Amino acid sequence: MNGEQLAISLLGTFSVAVNDHVVPENEWHLKRAADLVKLLALAPRHRLPREEVIEALWPDGQLDRSAVNLRKVAFQARHALGLADGVVLEDGLVKLAPHHTVLTDRDSFVDAASQAIGSGDAAACRAAAAQYGGELLPDDPYVAWCEQEGRYLRGLFRELLEQGQLWGRLVREEPTNERAHREIMQAQLERGDRAGAIRQFDLLRTTLREELGVAPGPDTVALYNRALDMDGRDAPTPAERARALLAWGLVHWQRSDLDEAQRTAAEARALSIDAGLPRELTEASELLALIAHVQGNWHEVFAENFMESLSRNAGLAPFVFDANICLSEFALGEQNGLSDVAAMARRLIQFSTRTGSPQAEALGRLLRGETALLSGLVGTEVREDLTHAVRLHRESSSTTGWALAAERGAQLESRGGNRARAREAHRQALHIAEQTAVREHLMPLIYGGMLQGETAGTSRDVIDEAEDAFSRHQACDTCAMSFRVNASMVSARSGDLGRSEHYLDEARRVAPMWSGGPWHAAVDEADATLLLALGGAPADVVALFERAGARFRSANHQRDADRCEQSAASVPNRSRLLER
């Protein structure tokens, strides 16, 4: 093709060179002009139908106005490129430099990658991988028209790394790629680097746990055991042995071999207590808690494990509670949750009376205060339990228990109508929660509490703040139920119906985790509140409120049941209800 040559870089950066002249950044006076060139550079034969270009660049614009904008942007692009035919609009198409040669690093990379992968030659794959200059248009990470292409190129690059056996680069590019980690471990063991293989396994184990919530597979665990058992080396440390046990325990858990999973987790737990290993104790306790939950005896197992840890190494007991905080809150949401958790609280308080353990008393009082509060009690005994729980947890450095007790105390203030004191207490609980290792469980629970009894304006601010916090620390689905339900209801009452529906959908998605109980009732109440705001049939609204009340009452949430029954009775006076 005659004419000029355009060399366009799209990987790792964006730049355009016409022959040897690089277009300066300040020539792109309109960002949309650069976007138009990027869009066409990615298109087959560097051309697209006019309507597709308009939809990509002005998805929400009116067609006539967007057509005018396209002509303006095309003019600016031609000016930046220094070519009168740099962007041509003809025959219903938008074309990039149709009379010139257009070369892109994207096309060069894809061609080289396709040939290398097709050949199956590792050296060719390594050479092709070297042509990948980085992420596609990194300054436009959320632009819809390049997201799919970016994923395709990233996947192609990773396939080259794997076929080229560039395991270190593959781990940096895809930290959860277990095969890459395992190949690195294998190479380290072959050259006698036992410590390196152990470190690599620990990196993989931590990454899989934090990113995906899973554990290494049996082949990788077997390789780790081989590293621990290498001849002529120092004996494995207690931490290394505990991690090996935990890894095998998770393998058995994933295979649904609960007996063997329980045996290895219990062994890891005992070793962790004896060696004073808080991280490994937490993970062993989490696995034991999951097994006990599946087997239907979580209450008994947790109480026994917590009391045993107090007897053997009291300083590690807070880590056992950290491992069980989610299931503790889950248990409160079961049909008979309040009575079951109250029984566990009595057992812990009896243990504290026999042994003088302040930590057992702290947790017993916290659980007893929680069950009383959720059942609708707000009297002196509830306040006394939660106040003592705050003090005892703080004095024993159990930060999670301290934060949770402080939050339940804040909710008690809110139910008593002390809005200013409640706000202060919520903020204190949030500050404490941010210092814990279980923020994803505590923070949504606290934000849910903050929405109770608040004004519409303050509630909107709380939801905004919570959404920002959850973008940094993902919220646990189980522990976020109170936030989602309350956010749906306060949004409906303030007229933000889209947000209300979003949070109601999220609550509906999670509620089936319980076979019955108060969260099903809470979803009914939120559903009724949104339906009322949408102007739904009064009979349907009343039916939902009444069903919510009945479900709350059967779960012994008496105050919540009373509120739903009052809401049902006041439906005819719709404006009055929305002002509540």
Q: By percentage, how much of the chain surpasses pLDDT 90?
A: 87
Q: Which pLDDT tens digit goes with each residue over 415-424?
A: 988 999 999 9
Q: How confident is the model at residue 210 (pLDDT cuts 50, 70, 90)?
A: confident
The share of the chain scoring above pLDDT 70, in percent, equals: 98
| Number of Cβ within a 10 Å radius of residue 392 | 24
DSSP string, 63-129: HHHHHHHHHHHHHHHHHHHT-TTSEEEETTEEEESTTSEEEEHHHHHHHHHHHHHHHT-HHHHHHHH
- Report how far residue 229's alpha carbon sits from residue 231's, in angstroms, rounded to the nearest whole number: 6
Domain ranges of the chain: 1-165, 168-236
Q: How confident is the model at residue 72 (pLDDT cuts 50, 70, 90)?
A: very high
pLDDT the model gives residue 239: 94
Q: What is the mean pLDDT of residues 246-252?
A: 94
Q: What are φ and ψ of residue 522, in 5° steps?
A: -65, -40
- Residue 318, pLDDT > 50, answer yes
Beta bridge partners of 9: 15
pLDDT at 573: 58
* 386/272 Cα distance (integer angstroms): 31
Supply the mean pLDDT for the chain: 93
Q: Show the tokens assigned to 16.
A: 């355009």
Answer with the residue of higher pLDDT: 64 or 365.
365
Phi, psi of 56 (to 5 degrees): -70, -45
Cβ of 488: how many Cβ atoms within 10 Å? 29
Q: Containing H/E element for 303?
A: helix 298-313
Backbone angles phi and psi of 49, in degrees to 5: -60, 145
Separation between Cα atoms, residue 387 and residue 431, nearest integer Å: 17
SS3 label, residue 6: strand
Report the pLDDT value the prediction gives residue 236, as an integer from 0 to 100: 87
Radius of gyration of the chain, Cα coordinates, nearest whole angstrom: 30
Helix (H, G, I), strand (E, B) or coil at 22: strand
The CATH superfamily label for domain 168-236 reads: Tetratricopeptide repeat domain (1.25.40.10)
- Summarised one tens digit per residue, pLDDT across range 253-267 is 999 999 999 999 999
Sign of CA dihedral 513, 289, 175, 161: negative
* pLDDT for residue 574 is more than 70: no
Confidence of residue 577 (pLDDT cuts 50, 70, 90): very low
Please give the Cα distance from 297 to 326 (Å, whole number): 15
- Whole-number Å distance between alpha carbons of 252 and 255: 5
Strands 87-90 and 101-104, bridge-based pairing = unpaired
Give the pLDDT confidence score for residue 112 in this predicted structure. Answer: 97
The answer to whether 173 touches 135, Cβ cutoff 8 Å, is: no
Residue 464: predicted pLDDT: 95
Rounded CA separation 113/103 (Å): 16
What is the rounded distance in angstroms from the CA atom of residue 162 to the CA atom of residue 171?
Answer: 10
- The model's pLDDT over 451-491, given as tens digits with 9 standing for 90+, comes to 987 888 889 999 999 999 999 888 999 999 999 999 999 99
Dist. CA 213–CA 223, nearest whole Å: 21
- Tens of pLDDT, residue by residue over 495-507, are 999 999 999 999 9
For CA atoms 233, 239, 242, 248, the dihedral sign is negative
Q: Which two tokens stand for residue 370?
A: 């929680």
Adjacent-strand bridge partners of 104: 8
SS3 141: coil
Q: What is the structure's pLDDT at 474?
A: 87
* pLDDT score of 1 more than 70: no
| Cross-strand bridge partners of residue 89 | 94
pLDDT tens per residue, range 173-188: 999 999 999 999 999 9
The answer to whether residue 433 scores a pLDDT higher than 90 is yes
pLDDT at 3 over 90: no
Q: Taking residues 534-547, what's their average pLDDT?
A: 94
- CA distances 377 to 35, 94, 225, Å, are 61, 69, 53
Tokens for 465, please give them. 């703040």
Taking the complete model, does pTM exceed 0.85, yes or no? no
461: number of CA atoms within 13 Å, CB side? 7
pLDDT at residue 579, rounded to an integer: 46
How would residue 140 be classed by pLDDT, with cut points 50, 70 and 90? confident
> Does 341 score more than 50 pLDDT?
yes
Q: According to the model, what pLDDT value does residue 578 have? A: 47
Q: Give the single-character DSSP code of 217.
A: -
